[in-house]
Amino acid sequence: MLCKVAIDLSLDRLFVYEVPGDLQEKLAVGQLLSVPFGHRTARGFVLEVSKNKSGEEVPAAKLKPIAGIVDETPFFSPALLELVRKLAAYTAAPIESLLRAAVPAAVVKPNARPKELLFVAPALAARAVELTRRQEWLYNQIVRLGGGWMSQLCAELDTSPATLKLLGQKGLLQIAPRQKFRTPLVARRAAPTKALALNPEQAAALGAIKAAGRPVLLNGVTGSGKTEVYLQAIAAELERGRGAIVMVPEIALTPQTVQRFAARFGDKVAVLHSAMGDGERYDEWHRIRSGKARVVVGPRSAVFAPVKDLGLIVVDEEHDPSYKQEDNPRYHARDAAVLRGALEGAKVVLGSATPSLESYRNAQTGKYAYAEMRSRAGSGTMPQVRLVDMAGEKQGGIFGEAMLEALRVRLAQGEQAILFLNRRGYSRSVTCADCGRTVDCDRCDMPYTYHRADDCLRCHLCGRWIEVPQKCPHCGGARLDYRGIGTQRAEAALKTIFPQARILRMDADSTSRKDSHDDILSRFRRHEADILIGTQMVAKGLDFPSVTLSGVINADQSLNLPDFRAAERTFQLIAQVAGRAGRAELPGEVIVQTRNPNHPAIRLAATGDYAKFAAGELKEREEGGLPPYAHLSVIHLKSQDRREAEEWAEMYARSLEKNVPGLAVSAAMPAAVERADGWYRYQIVLTGHSVAAMVAARRRLLAVRPPPRALKVGIDIDAHNFV
């Protein structure tokens, strides 16, 4: 018997091994194996098993036997393994990289194991023995508690392990190791909730989900009650004995979402995300694989959760760009969810108040079913949105008078406000007043951002930081200006203007600590702060009944990106931020500061007219031959030698243009940020209707003209990032 194994080395090939006779009956596709590899022992997943040695490229005499089976229970079901294969083929990524994405490293590393602690329980048939008064009291307390972990009982009862072990020797207690689940779900303490009565729009949406034999795009305005629809759709699947996955775009949204689902489904809920500790991820993943957890909540990688009998996948905020992974494997989790649903016969719901144009177009053509909810659930009403033209405001001011007055009113009334500014740090750049040049990162074509919190300059591309210079590194001038606005600077300005206000900031800098997302949002929910200011983390999914003001500080920022989706993302961000206000009885107000109030994306986001925006944008995309009417992919080339990257990019572009009919091939061009972390980056853009043609073209190109070792060549299918 032979098997083909994917070793965890991104070699984009499978290795053939012989299976010893004593393991042949135990071996199954999807298992984790231990195999000899070179001069060491490696781990890998078995992807194929064959009993026929004929036709193998490697002579049987040279085959090595596998060393052993690490875990006899397969890590991949046939459907999940097929998902991995198809995504690897679609994204042109090594299958090993998809396998790594699908199974957390904490689960497969050699020292991964359950956590066991001593557990103390009353003996089922306690013997009659003589006890001191203290021992009798301890025994009665443990009976009253029903037992517990040794360390906790010792602390609670002010005793020692030796004393409890003595009671065990007398036959009164059972003391033995027991697995202690490491769980991130503090939300499991949430008070139980019951299904709410649905309004007609919610009921129609739930009916569409139950009846659909294809993915459902649920287009519901912010506050329309999409989550309650999800909850009841999941409850229906649980009644049928099936499981569910709920995907959210940001880790910041996970605690709040988990609370809602844990309150409804209790211990059936598990959570998976990268901010969890290794032990937590190990235990949660095994709870899912064993079937003890039936509902999984998490961001992008949750699409691979090993849920048994999967019946439903919900992709909340399906439009969000964070569902697209920007390094290998460059898969889109929304598309992976649709594919997994098809492979497993599971329903798929894509929910958003501002759907991606790709999903909206699929609904128009009938590929997706469509459900719409245009009214807020309960007593909430849509907020009033006001556009403020900053051209007439004080030069250099962060907040216009309208924003400041609205904040004064909320502070006086004891209400809350959320402010959105999509740039972290204090100042965008440090510029010399004498020569006009910026202080740039030594390894990137990117200005350093000043961070006042730790008084340093940081590069947001490679992470490098330096101390703040006293003089210009270019001309030696001492007049350095701090330009641009980041969340730290806006926070400092708010504290100066409103010294009595309690302010929280939520961005990548303030949420680097474990559980910091949950901590900030919990404090804001308890009304321990009046104003929450942050980046995209505060723009979506949050639901706070006391928030009556949402503000966008610089609405034009995303319009200036070198991306054909810039208008779409601007519309989505403004509409999502607007949706944070007035979600309960109190009416809401939204103030959008802009220098371009007549831009369609900004003007239509203010009125909430998604259909009109989508119609105009889709017309432009169709005329330009852009997604969703075609696929757009980018071949990336990077080298630490600028000339090498440029010359090979130009050669590949010419070769593709001559030899690949049916694809539009751009000229080779530097990336928007040409140098990043010391690597010079060039791009070739491919546009066409066949992804398979794009993948095949790149493979043929590299086979005919293999790049030098120092040149890295990759492809981003259906690219979302052009920086």
Q: Kindly state whether residue 438 falls inside one of the protein's structural domains.
A: no
Mean pLDDT on 435-449: 93
* Residue 378 or residue 369, greater confidence: 369
- Assess whether pLDDT exceeds 70 at residue 54: no
Q: Kindly state whether residue 355 falls inside one of the protein's structural domains.
A: yes
Q: What is the pLDDT of residue 308?
A: 93
The encoded tokens of residue 602 equal 């900004």
Q: Kindly state whether residue 38 falls inside one of the protein's structural domains.
A: yes
Q: How many domains in the chain?
A: 5
Give the CATH number of the domain where residue 173 resides: 1.10.10
The answer to which of 141-155, 575-589, 604-618, 633-647 has the lowest mean pLDDT is 575-589
Q: What is the pLDDT of residue 10?
A: 75
Q: Kindly state whether residue 379 falls inside one of the protein's structural domains.
A: no
The encoded tokens of residue 395 equal 């030069």
Last residue of a domain, one of 341, 373, 405: 373
CA nearest 504: which of 483, 514, 490? 490
What is the 8-class DSSP label of residue 62?
A: G
State the DSSP string of 649-695: HHHHHHHHHHH-TT-EEPPPEEEEEEEETTEEEEEEEEEES-HHHHH
Average pLDDT, the chain: 91
The encoded tokens of residue 198 equal 């649905």
- Assess whether pLDDT exceeds 70 at residue 273: yes
Element (H, E) at 25: none
Give the CATH number of the domain where residue 506 resides: 3.40.50.300
Q: Kindly state whether residue 453 falls inside one of the protein's structural domains.
A: no
Q: Does 397 lie in the same domain as 287?
A: no
Q: Does 294 lie in the same domain as 223?
A: yes
Q: Kindly state whether residue 661 falls inside one of the protein's structural domains.
A: yes
Last residue of a domain, one of 597, 620, 643: 620
Find out whether 424 and 461 touch, Cβ atoms under 8 Å.
Answer: no
What is the rounded CA–CA span in Å between residue 150 and residue 161?
A: 7
- Assess whether pLDDT exceeds 80 at residue 252: no
Query: In Å, how far from its chain's centre is CA 417?
Result: 25
Sequence-separated (6 or more) residues with CB below 8 Å from residue 560: 566
Q: What is the pLDDT of residue 240?
A: 96
Find out whether 677 and 462 touch, Cβ atoms under 8 Å.
Answer: yes
Report the relative pairing of strands 32-37 and 68-71 from DSSP bridges.
antiparallel
Collapsing DSSP to helix, strand or coil, 416 comes out as strand
The encoded tokens of residue 401 equal 């008078």
- Assess whether pLDDT exceeds 80 at residue 680: yes
What are the start-end ranges of the E strands in 490-588?
A: 503-506, 531-534, 547-552
CA nearest 69: which of 142, 17, 105, 135? 17
Q: Does 390 lie in the same domain as 365?
A: no
CA dihedral 503, 504, 509, 510 (to 10 degrees): 130
Q: Does 149 lie in the same domain as 30?
A: no
Q: Does 258 lie in the same domain as 325?
A: yes
Q: Kindly state whether residue 109 falls inside one of the protein's structural domains.
A: no
Find out whether 463 and 426 touch, Cβ atoms under 8 Å.
Answer: no
Helix ranges (DSSP H) in 272-428: 278-290, 333-344, 357-364, 401-413
Q: What is the pLDDT of residue 216?
A: 98
Give the CATH number of the domain where residue 50 resides: 3.40.1440.60
- Assess whether pLDDT exceeds 90 at residue 305: yes
Collapsing DSSP to helix, strand or coil, 494 comes out as helix
Q: What is the pLDDT of residue 59?
A: 54
What is the rounded CA–CA span in Å between residue 410 and residue 527?
A: 13
pLDDT digits (tens, 9 = 90+) for 599-622: 999 999 999 999 999 999 999 999
Q: What is the pLDDT of residue 332?
A: 97
- Assess whether pLDDT exceeds 80 at residue 151: yes
* Residue 518 or residue 438, greater confidence: 438
What is the rounded CA–CA span in Å between residue 214 and residue 369?
A: 6
Last residue of a domain, one of 373, 397, 412: 373
When pLDDT is cut at 50, 70 and 90, the band that residue 52 belongs to is: low
Residue in this structure with the two tokens 């001593």, named with its chain if needed: 118
Find out whether 164 and 175 touch, Cβ atoms under 8 Å.
Answer: yes
Find out whether 484 and 457 touch, Cβ atoms under 8 Å.
Answer: no
Q: What is the pLDDT of residue 287?
A: 93
CA nearest 316: which of 244, 379, 383, 380? 244
Q: Does 57 lie in the same domain as 39?
A: yes
Q: What is the pLDDT of residue 153?
A: 93
Q: Does 402 lie in the same domain as 308?
A: no
What is the rounded CA–CA span in Å between residue 59 and residue 366?
A: 52
pTM recorded for the entire structure: 0.90
Quick one: what percent of the chain has pLDDT higher than 90?
Answer: 74
What is the rounded CA–CA span in Å between residue 312 and residue 496?
A: 49
Q: What is the pLDDT of residue 382?
A: 87
Q: Does 44 lie in the same domain as 26?
A: yes
Q: Does 664 lie in the same domain as 607?
A: no
What is the rounded CA–CA span in Å between residue 159 and residue 164?
A: 8
- Assess whether pLDDT exceeds 50 at residue 187: no
Q: Does 336 lie in the same domain as 207?
A: yes
- Assess whether pLDDT exceeds 90 at residue 387: yes
When pLDDT is cut at 50, 70 and 90, the band that residue 61 belongs to is: low
Q: Kindly state whether residue 147 falls inside one of the protein's structural domains.
A: yes
Domain containing 324 equals: 186-373
Q: Does 130 lie in the same domain as 34?
A: no
CA dihedral 343, 347, 352, 358 (to 10 degrees): 40
* Residue 275 or residue 68, greater confidence: 68
Does residue 150 come out as left (phi exceeding 0), alpha (psi in the -120 to 50 range) or beta? alpha
pLDDT digits (tens, 9 = 90+) for 99-117: 999 999 889 888 888 888 8
What is the rounded CA–CA span in Å between residue 63 and residue 57?
A: 11
pLDDT digits (tens, 9 = 90+) for 701-712: 999 999 999 999
What is the rounded CA–CA span in Å between residue 147 and residue 72?
A: 33
Mean pLDDT on 268-280: 88
Task: Please give the backbone phi and psi of residue 375, each rounded to the nearest 5 degrees, phi first.
Answer: -120, 150
Give the CATH number of the domain where residue 682 resides: 3.30.70.600
Mean pLDDT on 310-314: 98
State the DSSP string of 420-482: E-S--SSBSEEEETTT--B-B-SSSSSBPEEETTTTEEE-TTT--EEEPPSS-TTT--S-EEE
Q: Does 367 lie in the same domain as 398?
A: no
